[in-house]
Amino acid sequence: MFDWIHHTNLWVARSPVGRWFHLENSGHPCERKGSSFFTEIRAGVATFFAMAYIISVNATITSDSGGSCICPPESQADLCNSDNAYLLCVQEVNRDMVTATAAIAALATFFMGLLANLPVALAPGMGLNAYFAYTVVGYHGSGMIPYRVALTAVFVEGFVFLGLTLLGIRQWLARALPASIKLATGTGIGLYLTLIGLSYSAGIGLVTGGGETPLELAGCTSRIPDPTTGLLVCPNSAKMRSPTMWIGIFCGGVLTVFLMMYRVKGAIIFGILLVSIISWPRSTSLTYFPPTELGDSMFNFFKKVVTFHPITHTLAAQDWDISGHGGQFGLAFITFLYVDILDTTGTLYSMARFAGTIDERTQDFEGSALAYMIDAMSISIGSLFGTPPVTAFIESGAGISEGGKTGLTSCVTGLCFFVAIFFAPIFASIPPWATGCTLVIVGGLMCRAAADINWRYHGDAIPAFLTIAIMPFTYSIAYGLIAGILIFRATGNQGGSVIQAILADPVLSKEYKIRGITRDVTNFWETTNKAIEVNQGKAVTDICKETGVQHLIFSSLRGLTELTGGRLTNVAYFDSKAEIESYIRQSGVPATFVLAGFFMTNFLEALKKRRDVVTLEWPVDPDKAKVPVLDVNEDTDN
């Protein structure tokens, strides 16, 4: 069995599919280590199950706006809560949203994998959908602008997003984020996921909003309205007695972690499925279908198993006449735009780092431009289906933690969402307590990035900490990024000013020695990918050996990763040269290795004056450090 899986993985890797997705053993210069066909399939399914809740949750939230349904004037006193005809229309909008959510998630996620080759899934964003439904449109249409006009704002935002992507502004934003903020973003999103997983809306219900405190312990069998605030609260007598919470903790959490510790493949999927199956029978206290009118409606939909509900009320529902809503339309548009820019930038970067696809030299990831373009187009297409803005999902971390590294993971997730269009009654019935502990586990895995933050330097530590803290407590990735960036710009760049002040002070300058440091050794002008250069060097060596070349001369360098005992690991230019030299020596081809401090042609090119405001200084004392410079033509008589 395992031999068959191994051979199938190799066969797929060596096929055009494997080369397209850069699977390991595909021979592609940028193949992603650890990726294999069956691992990517398992990861794609894991991502789907971790975010399948969005089908029902987004449908519920968006339909609360009333959608395209019209509330008659005589029923507006109670927002049409007693108008049966209106409520039936809203129920149809809810069914439309189940289909629309699954459809746009399938389309966007599949093309994210196929074209951008990233293991990242997309769907209507949590948080953005709540802002869309409860602030912009309002409960049953009581907000700033009508549903149809709000969809127009989302449609326009998507194309503006695309323009920013084509101009390179979105990619520039990703590169402009300070390193400490990038690392903190992953940790902040991990805590954000954890809070979602612990809450009632999409988790196990272990915490809830408190009266005297913002959060408090929950796990109640039922919540009651607070007589003062009217908010649902958890009385002390009912805390920690919810059977669904305990089944989520032990079957979806403890068991999943236990299986992960023993390297059981598909551990996350197993936990979600087990809790879901336990929660489907109606005769138990764990049921997802209580004996209420809502429970009956959910169970009747669940019993259909296979069905297709066409989109009838929300398809292409835009209203282009915004003459009476100009100011509010602009406010909604700008809010959607800046939140989406920051959310998507932070999420895509964090998922790419979690998957190990970040280029440490450029601080970018493969396929970033296409990823941003696909996300932008998905926003506009999703609005045609009637959904709030589409964005990259942090639940993609569930699949990445299962080993997903390539776009094949996203393609599988997209196909699962396509199937969910026809099996919506099943997939929309995965209870939140089945996925809650999964979100907590993935959140914990993502917090590992915090170890790489320079906590000893306050200019990095404080902005990073605020980024981490504000994301979960404001339920917004964007607000966390804004806080971190503002504080970093105010405090993180003050090191130079401190040094200048010390040097200018006659007492301090004698008391302290100022030493120059760098975060890592890289050369900003080098654009060659290490893997490509190594493959080219090996290919040239193989050709020399096959054709009987008498002597090979190679410009080499020492491997700094080995020389520094792993302290400097990102000097790809040196390490690639050292790896090629080692390969040449092992091949047996007669060779001479030249290690020049600098090539004269490169040195002269670097010293050319570019602009009046720019100079290149050589920070080396020529009397103390002799740098060997090689002139190829002069020194080799060629």
Q: How far apart are CA 75 and CA 159, in angstroms?
A: 37
Decide if 476 contacts 236 (C-beta within 8 A): no
Q: How far apart are CA 289 and CA 274, in angstroms?
A: 17
- Output the CA–CA distances (angstroms, integers) from residue 186 to 47, 142, 200, 398, 457, in the order listed: 17, 36, 23, 14, 19
Q: Which of 24-38, 109-123, 360-374, 545-559 has the highest mean pLDDT?
A: 109-123
Q: Which of 10-19, 274-283, 423-432 has the lowest mean pLDDT?
A: 423-432
User: Amino acid identity of 47?
Assistant: T
* Backbone conformation region of residue 472, classed left if phi is above 0, alpha if psi is from -120 to 50, else beta: alpha
pLDDT in tens, 275-296: 989 999 988 888 888 887 767 8
Q: How far apart are CA 397 and CA 350, in angstroms?
A: 9
Q: What are phi and psi of 391, to 5 degrees?
A: -150, 165
* Averaged pLDDT for residues 453-476: 86
Q: How far apart are CA 437 and CA 399, in angstroms?
A: 15
- Indicate the SS3 state at residue 392: strand
Task: State the pairing for strand pair 232-233/358-359.
Answer: unpaired
Helix (H) or strand (E) holding 286: none
632 half-sphere exposure, CB direction, 13 A CA radius: 9
Q: Which of 216-220, 356-360, 512-516, 586-590 has the lowest mean pLDDT?
A: 512-516
Decide if 491 contacts 458 (C-beta within 8 A): yes
pLDDT in tens, 226-261: 666 555 667 777 788 888 899 999 988 899 899 888
Sequence-ordered alpha helix ranges (H) in 69-178: 84-116, 128-131, 147-166, 169-176
Q: What is the pTM of this model?
A: 0.62
The structural domains of the chain, ordered by start, are: 1-31 (no CATH), 32-205+242-489 (no CATH), 209-238 (no CATH), 530-635 (3.40.50.720)
Nearest-CA neighbor of 310 among 247, 253, 412, 386? 386
Residue % of the chain over a pLDDT of 70: 85
